[in-house]
Amino acid sequence: MSNAIRIHETGGPEVLRWEKIEDRRPEPGEVRIRQTAVGLNFIDTYFRSGAYPLAKLPLILGMEAAGVVEEVGEGVDDLAIGDRVTYVQGPGAYCEERVLSADRVLRLPEAITDEVAAAMMLKGMTAEYLVRRTYPVKAGDTILVQAAAGGVGLILCQWAKELGATVIGTVGSQEKADLARAHGCDHPILYREESFLDRVKELTDGRGVPVVYDSVGKDTFDDSLDCLAPRGLLALFGQSSGAVAAFNIPNLMAKGSLYLTRPSLAAYTTTRSDLEESAGALFDVVERGVVRIEIQQRYALRDAREAHEDLEGRRTTGSTVLLP
C-alpha cells in the first residue's frame, strides 16, 4: 500500500483526499516508479472541477512527475532499476508510486534534478511545441504571451527570446511583471491597469502580432484575436478563466483571415519519436541555461488542496512541485 491524492467526485479543492491505494506490479512493457517530485498544472484543476470529462471515479490527478525505477516488467530493455526518469502522462501522478508504460517514460539527464524535471515537463514540452511547431517563432517576430509570469509563460518568454523574438506579455501585478521581465519578456503589461489590446497596438505601430499564445481563455479571447495582424494565429492552449463562449467562425475572416487552434501536448507527442524529440529539445535548452525553470512553490503532496487553492487564487508564479 502507498499513498495518493484522489477525488471521488468533481468540485473544488475540498474534494482532494489523501488516502491509501493498492499498489500493483508492472506487467510486460511497464515499469514501476517511486516518485520523488510531482508537477502541479492548471489542467489538474480542470479534471478536478469536471471542466474536462473524466473516464471514471475515483481518480488520481496529476500529469507529470519524476522519480526512480523500482521494478521493470518483462520485455523492458531500455530502462533499468535505479534509473532516474520522468514522464508526462495523466491523470495519475499525485501518488507515491506509479506503474506506467515504459514507452512513455524518459530517462533524465544527470544535469537536471528530479524537482526541476517534475516542474518542467508538461509546461516545457507545451512551450516547445508552441514556439517550434504550432507557430515557429523566428528572429524579428513580435509575439504576445498571455499569463507571462505563469509556469508555461516564463518558459515561453525565455524560449522565444532565444529564437530572436520581441516578447510582449500580460501579468497581474508589478511583482509578476518584474519576474516576467527577468525571464525574457521585453514588455510586461499589467492588464488590470491598462488595456493589453491598446498597448500591443501601440508597441507594434498598429500592426498587431503574428501570434498570441493564450492559456487564459474566456477573459482574453476577444482581445487576443484583435491583437493579431492579418493572417495571424491565436494558439489557445488553456482556459484558466473559463471556457470560451460559442464563436462565430466568419469573424476570423472579418478580422483579417485569422487562424485559431486549440492544441494539446498529447496531439504533439503521439509517437515515441515525437515524445523524444520534444523532450530532447527541452532538455537541451535547460541544460544550456537558455531556459531557467523557476520553482517558486513547494508543497507536500498531502497538501495538494492548499496548492490548488493558491493556484486558482493566482497566488503562484512560475512552477510548483508537490513532494511525496
pLDDT of 90 reads 79
Q: How far apart are CA 177 and CA 194, in angstroms?
A: 13
Residues 72 and 149 in one domain: no
Quote the DSSP letter at residue 241.
T
Q: How far apart are CA 307 and CA 301, in angstroms?
A: 9
Model-level pTM?
A: 0.92
| 265 pLDDT higher than 90 | yes
Beta bridge partners of 228: 209
Q: What is the residue range of 7's domain?
A: 2-121+266-323
Q: Which of 73, 57, 64 is nearest to 38 (CA)?
A: 64
Please, are residues 243 and 52 in contact by the beta-carbon 8 Å criterion? Answer: no
Residues 249 and 155 in one domain: yes
Residues 29 and 108 in one domain: yes
pLDDT in tens, 38-48: 999 999 999 99
Q: 18 exposed, middle or buried (CB, 10 Å; 0-12, 13-18, 19+)?
A: middle
pLDDT of 314 reads 86
CATH code where residue 230 lies: 3.40.50.720
Amino acid letter, residue 262:
R
Residues 256 and 145 in one domain: yes
pLDDT of 41 reads 93
pLDDT of 292 reads 94
Residues 113 and 170 in one domain: no
Q: How far apart are CA 162 and CA 153, in angstroms?
A: 14
Please indicate, yes or no, if residue 127 is contained in any of the structural domains: no
- Our measurement of the distance from residue 82's CA atom to the centroid of its chain's CA atoms, rounded to an integer in Å, reads 27
pLDDT in tens, 127-186: 999 999 999 999 999 999 999 998 899 999 999 999 999 999 999 999 999 999 999 999
What grid cell was written down for 58?
475515483
Q: Give mean pLDDT, residues 197-224.
A: 97
pLDDT of 242 reads 87
Q: Give mean pLDDT, residues 196-208.
A: 98
pLDDT of 318 reads 79
Q: How far apart are CA 311 and CA 214, in angstroms?
A: 17
Q: Give mean pLDDT, residues 207-219.
A: 96
Number of C-beta neighbours around residue 139 at 10 A: 8
